[in-house]
């Protein structure tokens, strides 16, 4: 199994956490998203992942491999393949609640603040740094207000009760991004409480961006 990612990619961060929680090793292959215009746009990687995004997980034997993209699809694949320490609750209703929290981050916040969106804002639309940061902070705040409300309803020690789920796997990298862009996180006490709880676990600590081999 080989994981193509980048140390600062929050989507790759999610998959690293999931692998750690499952106790599964994967060969790490760095795809630098900025150097030389972005290695994700090189022909060799584009052939592997036509979206030219990370992460990409290559599974199976070298001569009979399958290639998976999209972090949540990869995380749920790992959860089904290694069902010990499940990342989704047992009941259909509870699974739907957890997926809603995870997708609030993965679909409503992250895509608007993805690197390619920020590059389009600056390189194509000519937005200055201050305006770009205001854009970033706005969409973090919009999503976090909703997520904070969901946590009031459903959280225990973690996002949903007292067991780690895919919601926590999405939350921790998104808080990391928010901190990078100086978002005021004081209005979100439940988000920060869950974030702190998760970051006491080895699986989350070892997945932190600064602990990756390609961190600069």
pLDDT score for 46 = 94
Number of domains in the chain: 2
Q: Which residue has the tokens 């069902």?
A: 83
pLDDT attached to residue 178: 97
**Are 43 and 100 members of one domain?**
no
Verify that 53 and 117 share a domain, yes or no: no
Instruction: Say whether both 79 and 96 belong to one domain.
Output: no
Same domain, 80 and 96: no
3-state secondary structure at position 132: helix
**Confidence (pLDDT) at 65:** 76
9-35: pLDDT as tens digits: 999 999 999 999 999 999 999 999 999
Element (H, E) at 4: strand 2-5
pLDDT at 216: 84
**What is the predicted pLDDT for the residue at 61?**
67
Instruction: Specify the pairing of strand 2-5 against strand 27-30.
Output: parallel
The pLDDT, as a whole number, for residue 63 is 56
Residue ranges in the chain modelled with pLDDT below 50: none
Residues 89 and 101: beta-carbon distance below 8 Å: no
Q: Do 98 and 184 have their domain in common?
A: yes
Domain boundary pick from 84, 102, 135: 84
The pTM score is: 0.96
CATH number at residue 31: 3.40.30.10
Query: Can you list the alpha helix ranges (DSSP code H) found in 49-165?
Result: 71-81, 92-103, 115-119, 129-154
């Amino acid at each position: 199994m080989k994981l193509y990612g980048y140390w600062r990619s929050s989507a790759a961060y999610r998959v690293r956490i999931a692998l750690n929680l499952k106790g599964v090793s994967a060969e790490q292959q760095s795809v630098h998203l900025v150097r030389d215009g972005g290695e994700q746009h090189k022909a060799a990687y584009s052939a592997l992942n036509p979206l030219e995004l990370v992460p990409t997980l290559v599974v199976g034997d070298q001569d009979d491999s399958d290639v998976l993209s999209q972090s949540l699809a990869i995380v749920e694949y790992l959860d089904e393949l290694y069902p010990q320490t499940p990342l989704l609750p047992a009941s259909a209703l509870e699974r739907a609640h957890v997926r809603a929290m995870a997708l609030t981050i993965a679909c409503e916040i992250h895509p608007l603040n993805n690197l390619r969106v920020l590059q389009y804002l600056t390189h194509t639309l000519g937005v200055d740094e201050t305006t770009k940061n205001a854009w970033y902070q706005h969409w973090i705040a919009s999503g976090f207000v909703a997520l904070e409300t969901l946590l009031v309803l459903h959280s225990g020690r973690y996002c949903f009760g007292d067991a780690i789920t895919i919601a926590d796997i999405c939350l921790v990298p998104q808080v990391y991004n928010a901190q990078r862009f100086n978002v005021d996180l004081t209005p979100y006490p439940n988000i920060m409480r869950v974030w702190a709880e998760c970051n006491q676990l080895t699986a989350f600590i070892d997945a932190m961006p600064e602990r990756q081999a390609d961190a600069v």
